[in-house]
Structures are given as structure tokens and as C-alpha cells.
Amino acid sequence: MIEPGIRVVVRYRLPDGRATDALGTLLSADATQLVVDGKRGVETIAVSDIIAAKEVPPAPEPRASMRRPSTS
């Protein structure tokens, strides 16, 4: 079982049959649902809809701007 507090990706089935992913921090997990906090907000996913789930590495640090100094 994946522990709360780690970064995960969860692929799950939508009601129309398509699949989508939730990527973010796992807030909680029990026998019926997972709760993931990602860029789309907090998502509650029924265990019965999950296709796959795994731990992923932490998000990369934002890159520094590489702008050149103005030569005017």
C-alpha cells in the first residue's frame, strides 16, 4: 500500500469509460478511496476505478530564467 505524504500518479477510469491521471501528493488512502492533491486540486478516487498507481519522484525544481542582459 502506498503511504500518505508521498508523490504519486494514479490512473483511473472516468464515468464515461475514458482514463485519466492524477499526479500529486497522496493525502489519504483506505480500502475504498485515495485522495490526491495535485495541480487540478484535491481529487477523491474510488479504489474500484483505479487502473494503476505508483510512487513517483519529487517534482523538479523550477528552472531559473536564462534571459540575456539587455545591451541597449
Task: Determine contact, residues 27/36, Cβ cutoff 8 Å.
Answer: yes
Long-range contacts formed by 38-45: CB under 8 A, 24+ apart: 45/10, 45/12
Task: Assess whether pLDDT exceeds 90 at residue 31.
Answer: yes
CATH topology of domain 7-55: SH3 type barrels. (2.30.30)
Tell me the mean pLDDT in the region 2-23. 95
Task: Assess whether pLDDT exceeds 90 at residue 30.
Answer: yes
Task: Assess whether pLDDT exceeds 90 at residue 66.
Answer: no
- Confidence band, pLDDT 50/70/90 cuts, at residue 44: very high
**Whether this model's pTM surpasses 0.85:** no
